[in-house]
Amino acid sequence: AVTPKIAPSMLSSDFANLASEAHRMINYGADWLHMDIMDGHFVPNLTMGAPIIESLRKHTKAYLDCHLMVTNPLDYVESLGKAGASGFTFHVEASKDNWKELIQNIKSQGMKPGVAINPGTSVEEVYPLVESENPVEMVLVMTVEPGFGGQKFMPDMMEKVRILRKKYPSLDIEVDGGLGPSTIDAAASAGANCIVAGSSVFGAPEPAQVISLLRNSVEK
Ligand code: DX5
Ligand code: ZN
């Protein structure tokens, strides 16, 4: 069965106080911590990599949901596995030739493999990865162009979520970008169960209330 996973995006946190920001989110009721890894090449922004995951891992046992917005995801698997990442979600646009090898390597590092799709990429591109003998265990449907927090949710992406949910009733389906109290119902009713939320959680006067609102929307 698909259970809700609410994943605050640490991209919206105070990076200079990452451990306390992580503890704060877990205390507010977060299930996962979403870690946006960007290489300044696949997307026009540069964030964090294995050294920061390794540092944060020393301070928390939380599930670290790593979203790799990088051109060569295979180069990051071993270092992130050793650093203590929990999930490793690569982009389908960056893994055309080597997704089988990637999934294999991600699993041998003890991480959960996921695949992400950009707004301009059609949903059919992930079918082979979900239906493979050694499949991905989550699909991340981007609801903004990747690269930055604080952008506007793209409702047209919900059609992808609906198609995936119908095809794969027990798959983890994550949505990322512009999720918050005003957009969660669209995502939840389409069938998303893993909800990434950056600015709507970190920018709220009471983040715990936003996290529980997101969870209640997925559960109903
Ligand atoms: C965007 C990142 C997101 C981002 C979401 O490229 O993948 O995880 O942090 O931030 P919000 O929720 O503010 O759109
Ligand atoms: Zn993300």
Confidence of residue 189 (pLDDT cuts 50, 70, 90): very high
Cα–Cα dist 173/192, whole Å: 5
Pocket test for ligand 1, best of 13, 15, 36, 152 (most atoms within 8 A of CB): 36
Taking only the tens place, the pLDDT of each residue in 27-76 is 999 999 999 999 999 999 999 999 999 999 999 999 999 999 999 999 99
Give the ligand 1 atom nearest the CA of 147: 6
Confidence of residue 220 (pLDDT cuts 50, 70, 90): confident
Is pLDDT above 70 for 1?
A: no
The stretch 112-130 carries a mean pLDDT of 98
Instruction: Tell me which residue has tokens 């990599």.
Output: 49
As given in the structure block, the two tokens for residue 129 are 């990865």
| Residues that are catalytic | 36, 176
Provide the strand spans (E) within 39-180: 63-69, 87-91, 112-117, 138-142, 172-176
Cα–Cα dist 124/128, whole Å: 8
The predicted model scores a pTM of: 0.98
Spell out the residues 6+ positions from residue 177 whose beta carbon is closer than 8 angstroms to its own.
142, 143, 144, 145, 146, 151, 153, 154, 196
Which residue type, as a one-letter code, is found at position 172? D
Confidence of residue 87 (pLDDT cuts 50, 70, 90): very high
Is pLDDT above 90 for 141?
A: yes
**What residue spans define the domains of the chain?**
5-219
Query: Is 70 close to ligand 1, i.e. is its CB under 6 Å away?
Result: no
**Under 8 Å between Cβ of 78 and 51:** no
ipTM confidence score: 0.99
- List, as one string, the DSSP characters of 169-207: TT-EEEEESS-STTTHHHHHHHT--EEEESHHHHTSS-H
CATH code assigned to 5-219: 3.20.20.70
Spell out the residues 6+ positions from residue 197 whose beta carbon is closer than 8 angstroms to its own.
6, 7, 8, 9, 179, 180, 210, 211, 214
